[in-house]
Structure 1
């Protein structure tokens, strides 16, 4: 397909004014036209459309450095043709240890929706699972400057650069600016509300990784309990305990749908399952629940505790899939009994599914990098022999050293409120990476400073939604549209609508026509602290539910 001459002329570095960025020096600018771009993705975070095709946009790539810090940061700005631009600017947040998502997962859907979009690598590697490549200047010496750039500074730089490029390319500034992100991207958005309250009109911060130093160790907590118990249960045993919890608590909300929608009412005690039989799909046999597995599952659900039983942070919902953070492996994948091993989520090693195999834990990369590369700055840290006091001490050290840099839990959003900003968050109750209790805790702390918090910060909990992705329950599918309505028309959402993914059209992200004709389909997600309650009728219809106070 031939490139429109005017579009090609506009998409040229010489046609774009260099941004002015305080404290930084632009080192390079490049522009190239991208045509007929296609992407096959999956529903995630703010986007339920998953098939994209025939996209044209101008890719403006700007590199810069902060003199004296020996860094190199790159910002990417994607600009649809002028006739396709909706007049808005948006950012695409990152995930894990990455400041941006690879493969266009978050940027392409926004471009397709007509936004001018920016994302940044924050000057670090794009491997989202670890910070090993950039955390340490040398063993014992973490690169604090780089962490500060990653945590906040590069985000503001991106907003300044992005808006400047948009203004230069289109000849006018964006009418509205939005942050869109989940997980790390959610944390980034809330950081913008805290430190750069005038950069964005609306912030969609989903499943946010706030309370960084508090929740990161939660991902390592099940393995810590395995080391303490000196036991490494099979994956199928944890899956069976999850199934048992769902069976016990599914109907507490009045609907049997494989989702625990009222976790505060669920009193399932896994200890009562010890020695009871369960079917293990991995071994195609009937086994019996072990004391170790029930204790470890209970620990994952209740969250880490000190040796004195003191609460350290929130745990996971009982219906969350904890397979990644409870992964185990054979110590020797070439053992005499390799048939009893299967691939684990993070390597080509093997995971234990037979008591005859000598097993150990597979450290979860995100939290493992936190302990090794930041808290201790020791890549050789042995996490297999930590006492409970050692583990607790590492949590406190991480908070003491880095909370002011990347904790992102300052409850004072008064400046953001004065700028007229709106912050919208949903968090999946069955989030298997970031416990949803961190989001409710943060909202509670903001509310303790300002009882009118809902004027500018609204939180919704999503039963059955996993970490930034659909789970066993309906998925919130129009949160960005709700944020736009709030920012641009002053209509604050009282509830979000969640839909079953199978009822959505991959080409549009909207309800399929045959489902839409069936009436008011969907499930309401209630404004926190209210929760969803079934009142009767078709379980797939909005009117069959109401939002009630806990």
Structure 2
């Protein structure tokens, strides 16, 4: 679910600085014959294409790093491996990029977003840093409809493709990438890393849980874990519209969010448009009933209604069953509502209809209803709750990715960092926090090998107006190779208007959970004005 929207562009980072060479050149030529033996015991390789190519930097493919621009290219030996699993009738593509010069001795697996398992473009970030790198399409093309790979036929899930997407191809990509690296350079990698956000974050946690020996270090941003729960929870705002027969306009939703931010912003001592202490925010949307809001789209003014207040309060509360028991978390008070509660209106505040977030719609339609033509607007409350239970019962062991017992990863000597924007509008921040707390309950020494960082004001896999830890991958490498455990992550918040004041570029050092970033006084744009408590 990684958005392609670029955050504030900083100067060229060290990712674009050619790494020190651990190998001056390849020991084999970049030809198909040179990789003829590439394969694994459980797959049938259909083809291996190898060619010299130029990797181009694409800022939209940047993962867990400050986006940068460059016209430089890096020469790589580019492999495309197509294979199938005997009896599964699937076809998987894995891309492997090997820098011809200045390989730094490391290998990295690059993750995807949404239904996209990975991409060739994502490898450019890695090879510009001197890494050998691999990614996979997980058995389906990026532009393929979910129906085309999710259903074997109407009414029947394609379980082979679901296994490919959830876990199997991740393990195989790591093995194929490492083997190709050794073939090309004549020696194995020194360290192996994973880098992903959203779906890529879930993939990282899946590796730690199910394949704990593949990576020495894992960076899992905004991880899409608890997939079987949070994806149905993403559909809750749309189902509520149909049940309440109320379709809020963008103007209404943004106005109530702004009132909430204004009410809770200064709980942390700083007025900056960021709610850093969400647990203390008790804003009641009924308090703004009758107040006015300005609609930017047509410069009109509307009054906030009781229906809007009720709707938003239910979205914030999250889905619950008929007995009032919570099924999952809701969005935070400052998270943009329109991603999950989107509507399409003929005017800014009238004649609206719901526009579901596509992945939540796909899950309801393809994997729960198993009917590609079902009308999602007909899903009532009772059916929604039934679908929620179905999702957990049928898919938790396949793609839930929430096993908190990381003993295998610990014993393998791995290190892992997760970060999550507290203003995430797609994946509920509390779900990641809950997972980490459960892992801490199992292992009191969890922080010896796994650390979690909350990012106030950050949105899904990007900054928003909040603190974005674009230094997190470098921190992971330092932890793995130099045993420097990160107590904080360097983060940057982009300039933004708050009221009539224009904030400067801000820096902060995000705190390792359970500590929280706390203002202690001074210039709020400086990291020194905050501490971890």
TM-score (norm 1): 0.88
In the alignment, which residue of structure 2 is the partner of 1:421? 414
* Alignment map for 1:414-493 (pairs within 5 Å): 414-493=407-486
The answer as to whether partners of 1:478 and 1:497 remain within 8 angstroms in 2 is yes
Which of 115, 129, 143 does residue 127 from structure 1 map onto? 143
Q: How far apart are 1:471 and its partner, in Å?
A: 0.6
Structure 1 contact 42–48 (Cα < 8 Å) conserved = no
Q: Which runs of 4+ in 1 moved over 6 A?
A: 6-9
SS in structure 2 of the partner of residue 236 of structure 1:
helix
Instruction: Answer yes or no: is the 8 Å Cα contact 1:177–1:199 preserved in 2.
Output: yes
Deviation string, structure 1 residues 366-420 (Cα, Å, up to 9, x no partner): 0111111111211222322333222111111011001101110111110110000
1:252-267 superposed matches below 5 A:
252-267=267-282
Aligned to 2:41: 22
The corresponding residue for 2:197 is 182
Shift, 1:125, TM fit: 2.5
Aligned residues: 502
- Of 106, 112, 126, the residue aligned with 1:88 is 106
Q: Does 1:354 align with 2:355?
A: no
CA distance in 2, matches of 1:131, 1:383: 16
Q: Secondary structure at the match of 2:57?
A: strand
Query: Within 2, Cα distance between the matches of 1:467 and 1:87?
Result: 32
Q: Indicate conservation of the 8 Å contact 2:28/2:183, yes or no.
A: no
Q: What is the aligned partner in structure 1 of residue 6 from structure 2? A: none
The farther-off stretch of 211-220 and 8-17 is 8-17
Distance 1:49 1:231, change over 3 A: closer
1:228 matched residue in structure 2? 243
Aligned to 1:79: 98
Contact 1:125 1:134 (8 Å CA) reproduced:
no
Task: Check whether the contact 2:200–2:223 (CA below 8 A) recurs between aligned residues.
Answer: yes
Give the SS at the match of 2:378. coil
Counterpart secondary structure, 1:23: coil
Q: Give the match for residue 532 of structure 1.
A: 517
Unpaired segments of 5 or more residues in structure 1? 1-5, 331-340, 342-351, 504-514
46-55 or 137-146: bigger deviation: 46-55
Q: 1:44 to 1:261 in 2, by over 3 A?
A: farther
Residue 133 (structure 2) pairs with residue 117 (structure 1):
yes
CA–CA distance in 2 between the matches of 1:501 and 1:50? 14
Cα deviation, residue 298, structure 1: 1.6
SS at match of 1:461: strand
Alignment-derived partner of residue 345 in structure 1: none
CA contact (8 A) 1:8 1:33 kept: no
Contact 1:459 1:527 in 2 (8 A): yes
Relative distance call for 1:43 and 1:401 in structure 2 (3 A) is: closer
**Consecutive unaligned residues in structure 2, runs of 5 or more:** 1-24, 497-503
Residues 228 and 57 of structure 1, relative CA distance in 2, 3 Å threshold: same
What's 1:219 paired with? 234
User: Distance in 2 between the 1:8 and 1:57 partners?
Assistant: 14
Structure 1 residue 291, shift from structure 2 partner: 1.9
- 8 Å Cα contact 1:45-1:469 kept in structure 2: no
Conserved 8 A contact 1:125-1:133: no
Task: Indicate whether 1:280 and 2:295 are aligned.
Answer: yes
Residue equivalent to 2:340: 325
Aligned counterparts, 1:364-379, within 5 A: 364-379=357-372
> Is residue 182 of structure 2 the alignment partner of residue 163 of structure 1?
no
**What residue in structure 2 maps to residue 405 of structure 1?**
398
Distance 1:251 1:397 in 2: 42
Q: Is the 8 A contact 2:79 2:96 kept in 1?
A: yes
2:57–2:73: 8 Å Cα contact kept in structure 1? no
CA distance in 2, matches of 1:394, 1:473: 35
Equivalent-residue separation in structure 1 for 2:251 and 2:349 (angstroms): 11
Residue 54 (structure 1) aligns with: 73
1:329 to partner: Cα distance: 2.3
Q: 2:377 pairs with 375, 379, 384, which one?
A: 384
Larger deviation: 164-173 or 56-65? 56-65
- CA apart distance, 1:44: 4.7
The alpha carbon displacement at 1:363 in A equals: 1.9
Deviations 1:94-151 (A, max 9, x none): 110111146x2x32111111111100011113138x6222100111100011101111
Deviation at 1:354, TM superposition (A): 3.5
Structure 1 residue 290: deviation in Å?
1.6
Taking only aligned residues, the RMSD between alpha carbons, in angstroms, comes to: 2.0
Structure 2 Cα separation of the partners of residues 534 and 91 of structure 1 = 37
